[in-house]
Amino acid sequence: MRASQSRQKSYHDKKRKDIEFQEGDHVFLRVNSTIGIGRALNSKKLTSKFIGPYQILKR
């Protein structure tokens, strides 16, 4: 079991990329429909998955 977990972790870690943002960059925020903007809407298809763009002001 531990060997399998270790192998899966190493596969995941190989493909993971840490993203660093700088001041002045524009980013979109991912929104979960149950928590964010679309909570009041009945249709999940019509809710926004991302909101923004927002500018990063300081780190």
The verdict on residue 3 lying in a domain is no
The verdict on residue 59 lying in a domain is yes
Q: Give the predicted TM-score (pTM) of the model.
A: 0.55
The pair phi, psi for residue 28, each rounded to 5°, is -105, 145
15 half-sphere exposure, CB direction, 13 A CA radius? 4
The verdict on residue 2 lying in a domain is no
The verdict on residue 34 lying in a domain is yes
pLDDT at 32: 73
Residue 21 DSSP one-character state: -
Token readout for 22 is 């700088």
The verdict on residue 7 lying in a domain is no
Q: What domain count does the chain have?
A: 1
pLDDT at 24: 95
Q: Walk along the chain (59 residues) and give the pLDDT tens digit of each residue.
A: 999 999 999 999 999 988 999 999 999 998 876 555 555 556 667 777 888 999 999 98
pLDDT at 26: 96
pLDDT at 41: 59
Range of the domain at 30: 21-59
Token readout for 24 is 């002045």
Question: What is the rounded CA–CA span in Å between residue 9 and residue 50?
Answer: 28
